[in-house]
Chain A
Amino acid sequence: MHQLSAIELRDKFLNKEVSALQIVDYFLKRIDSYDGQIGAFLTVYHDQAREHAKKLDDKLAKGEPLGKLAGIPIAIKDNIHVKGELSTCASQFLTNFKAPFDSTVVKLLKAEDAVIIGKTNLDEFAMGSSTENSSVQLTRNPWNLTCAPGGSSGGSAAAVAARLVPLALGSDTGGSIRQPASLCGVVGYKPTYGRVSRFGLVAFGSSLDQIGPFATNTADAALVMEVIGGHCDRDSTSIPHKRETYLEKFDKTLEGTTIGVPFEFLKDLKGDSKQAFEQSLETFKEKGASIVEVDLSTLKYSIAVYYILATAEASTNLARFDGVRYGIRAPDAETLDQVYDRSKEIGFGHEVKRRIMLGTFVLSTGYQDAYYKKAQKVRTLMIEQYKKAFETCDLIAMPVATSGAFKIGSKKDPLEMYLEDIYTISINLAGLPAVSVPNGFTSHSLPLGLQLIGPQKEDVRVLSMAHAFESETSFNKLPPQFED
C-alpha cells in the first residue's frame, strides 16, 4: 500500500477494496517498524487514528458521503495544532502543552475525512534547516541515515520519503518545506502567502510563514491544496478567495510555456545540483517550453534581509513564551523576573535564543532604521524585481538546495547553515507560490529537487507545470532501505 499514491489509496477505500482500518493499520505498522531508525514522529496517534478509521468504515457502510481525503493518513508538523493533543514545536518550553484549539488546516482535513496519524519532528520553533535544532530527537534522512533530512519540516519530509505516511503537512518560512522535500526526494509545496490559513500554526515569521503539503507526487499535493487552500476568517492575512480546484485544471503539456531562469544569480551553483538543474531545463526545452533569462540580482541580499525580518518578527512572536500562562515555568523561580528569565533560559535552545537576540537587536532604538527598515525596503525591491521577471515568463525555475543532504553535525557555524537557504528564502520574502519536485540524484544517490516558482496567487499554475514536469520524468522513487 505504501507504493500507492494518496489518491489511489482513497479510491481503493471508496471502492471498498480495502478498509480505512486496514489502511491505517498498515501505515501504523510501517511507522512502528521503521520510525525507530528515522525519528520522524514525535507522537503517533495509534488509538485515535484507529478509532477514526473505524468511524469512516461505518460511514462508508451506511452510504454516507465522504470527503476528498477519505481514509488517507496524514502526519502533521508539531507546530500545527490538533486540539487536545500536544504541540511541542520540538521545544523544551512546550513539552506539556496541549493545543486548546484545532488549527484551521486540521479542521479542514478532518472535514474531508483525512486521518490525522501523528505529529512530526522539526527544528525547534521551525528555526533551522536540518531538524538538528529539535530539542527532542534527531530525524534521519531515509536515503542515508547518517544525513540530515533538511529542515525545519524534516520529520514530515522524512515520513513521506520513507512512505510511513502518504501525506504530511509542514510549514515554510524560508524554505522549510521545499528544502527538506528536495533533500528527501519528495514533493513539497509552499503556497502563495495567505493562501492557507495560519490560524493554529505557532508563528515564527508572521509575514513569511505558510503551511503546505508533502506528498510523493504533485497530484496528491494538489489534492491537499484543494482542501486547505482557502480563505479563513480567523486569519487577517488570508487571501479572500474560496478554495480552488487544481486537479481538473492540470495541463500535461509544457508546449508553449516560458520558464525564466536567473542564470547570473545561479552562477555559483556547481556539482551534482548544477547538473540536475541543467538536465531539468533540457527536459523543459524538449517538451516545447522556452527558457529565458531573468534578472534577479537583488536575490543575493535575500539571506541578509530574511535574517533581519524573520528574526525581528520571531523575537516578538516568541515573547509570549514566558512561563506565565502555559509551557514550562522554571521551578526555582521565586520572583517574576526569575519566572521570565529562567523559564526562557531552560526552555529555549541555542538557535532560538540566537534568533530572538538578533531580532531584538534589529528592532531596538538606534538600530531599527539601519536594519529593520532597510531590510523592509530591500524586500520591496525584490518583490518588484520578481514582478518584472514574471512579465517575461510563466514560471521561474531554480534549484532548491545547493547540494544533496549533508551529514548530521557537519554544519556547526550558524551562518553557514543560513546560507543553505539562498535559493528558497526570497520566495517567502515575495510571498510567491513555489514547489520542490524531485529532479535527480547526487553521485551518492541522494535526492535533488527542482524549484518552480510562480507569481502571487498562481498556485494552480505552479502545481500544474510541476505535474507536467513530473510526468516527463521519473524521479519519484523510494529510498532503497524502505522500499518494502
Chain B
Amino acid sequence: MAHLDKEMIEYLSDLSRIDLSEKEQQALLSDLESILTYIDLLNEVDTEGVEPCNHVLADMQNVMREDEIGEVMPREIFLSNSPAQIGGMIRVPPVIKGK
C-alpha cells in the first residue's frame, strides 16, 4: 500500500517551502515510502486509552518569568547576519498584501 504519490510530494514541498528538482522528488518519494513502510510497525501497538506524551518531564508545569525587560539585542548585531536590509528593517522582495 503506497503512502505517498507525486502529488503528495509536491504538496509537502509546497507546505515546507522547499524547491525540489524532478530527480530529488523521485528520490524522496522512494526514500520516504520505504521509511513510512517501516513506520507501519506502529500499527501493531495497542494504544487504546493511552495519553500522548507531550512532555517527558511529566511534573513540569507553570514555568514563567516576571514581566521584566531583559537584555535587548542591539539592532546592529541582528542586522549583521541579514542578507539584505534597508532603513533598519530586513529587506525582502515585494509582498502581496495579506497572507
Contact flag (A, B; Cβ within 8 A): yes
CB-CB nearest in chain A for B32 = A358
Q: Judging by beta carbons under 8 Å apart, are B81 and A380 in contact?
A: no
Given A345-B18, A414-B35, A301-B45 contact (CB < 8 Å): yes
In whole angstroms, how far apart are the Cα atoms of A308 and B45 in the complex?
Answer: 15
In the complex, which residues 30-55 of chain B have their Cβ closer than 8 Å to any Cβ of chain A? 31-32, 34-36, 38-39, 41-42, 45, 47, 50-55
Decide if A344 touches B31 in the complex (CB within 8 Å): no
Tell me the nearest residue of chain B to A334, going by C-beta. B93
Closest to A97 in B: B81
**Nearest residue in B to A346 (C-beta to C-beta)?**
B19
A324 vs B19: C-alpha distance when bound (angstroms): 16
Provide the bound-state CA to CA distance between A207 and B55, in Å: 7
Contact A237 B57 (CB under 8 A): yes
Whether the Cβ atoms of A307 and B53 lie closer than 8 Å is: no
**B19–A341 touching, CB < 8 Å:** yes
Q: Which residue of B lies closest to A342 (CB)?
A: B19
In contact, B32 and A361 (Cβ under 8 angstroms): yes
Give 1 or 0 for each of A186-219: 1 = CB within 8 Å of chain B CB.
0000000110000000000001000000000000
Task: Specify which chain A residues have a CB less than 8 angstroms from the CB of B63 in the assembled complex.
Answer: 236-237, 240
Q: Is A34 an interface residue (CB 8 A)?
A: no
- Cα-based distance from A429 to B16 in the complex (angstroms): 25
Question: Given that A308-B39, A374-B42, A414-B35 are contacting pairs, would A381 and B56 also be in contact in the complex, using a CB cutoff of 8 Å?
Answer: no
Contact A380 B35 (CB under 8 A): no
Per the bound structure, the CA–CA distance linking A329 and B78 in Å amounts to: 16
Known A-B contacts A207-B56, A356-B18; A380 and B51 likewise in contact (beta carbons under 8 Å): yes
Chain A: which residue is nearest B8 at the CB level? Answer: A361
A314–B63 Cα distance when bound, in Å, is 23
Residue of A nearest to B70 (CB): A234
B79-91 vs A, Cβ < 8 Å mask (1 yes, 0 no): 0111110000010
For the complex, is A406 an interface residue (Cβ under 8 Å from B)?
A: no
Give the distance in Å from the alpha carbon of A414 to the alpha carbon of B31 in the complex: 7
A140 contacts B by Cβ under 8 Å: no
Q: When chains A and B are docked, how far (Å) is the Cα of A304 from the Cα of B54?
A: 17
A327 and B83 contact, Cβ closer than 8 Å, known pairs A233-B65, A336-B93, A380-B50: yes
> Does A379 reach chain B (CB closer than 8 Å)?
yes
Instruction: Knowing A307-B35, A380-B52, say if A237 contacts B47 (CB, 8 Å).
Output: no
- Inside 8 A of A361's CB, which chain B residues have their CB? 4, 8, 12, 32, 36
Contact B81 A341 (CB under 8 A): no
| Size bracket, chain A contacts | 35 or more
Q: Are A373 and B52 in contact (CB-based, < 8 A)?
A: yes
- Minimum CB–CB distance from A343 to chain B (whole Å) comes to 8
Residue numbers in A under 8 Å from B50 (CB-CB): 377-378, 380-381
- Whether B17 lies near A340 (C-beta < 8 A) is yes
Q: A100-B78, A381-B50 are in contact. Are A357 and B45 (CB under 8 A)?
A: no
Q: What's the least CB distance linking A124 to chain B, in Å?
A: 14
B93:A339 contact, CB within 8 angstroms: yes
CB–CB B19/A344 < 8 A:
yes
Closest to A238 in B: B63
Among B24, B36, B38, B77, the residue within 8 A (CB) of A100 is B77
Does any Cβ of A come within 8 Å of B73's Cβ?
A: yes
**Contacting residue for B12 out of A298, A360, A381, A418, CB 8 A:** A360
CB of B49, distance to nearest CB on chain A (Å): 9
Q: Is B15 an interface residue (CB 8 A)?
A: yes
A-to-B contact residues, CB < 8 Å:
96-98, 100-101, 193-194, 207, 233, 236-237, 239-240, 298, 300-301, 303-305, 307-308, 315, 319, 322-329, 333-342, 344-345, 348, 350, 353-354, 356-358, 360-361, 364, 371, 373-381, 383, 413-415, 418, 429-431, 456
List the 3 closest pairs (A to B, CB-CB), nearest first: A376-B52, A431-B56, A329-B83
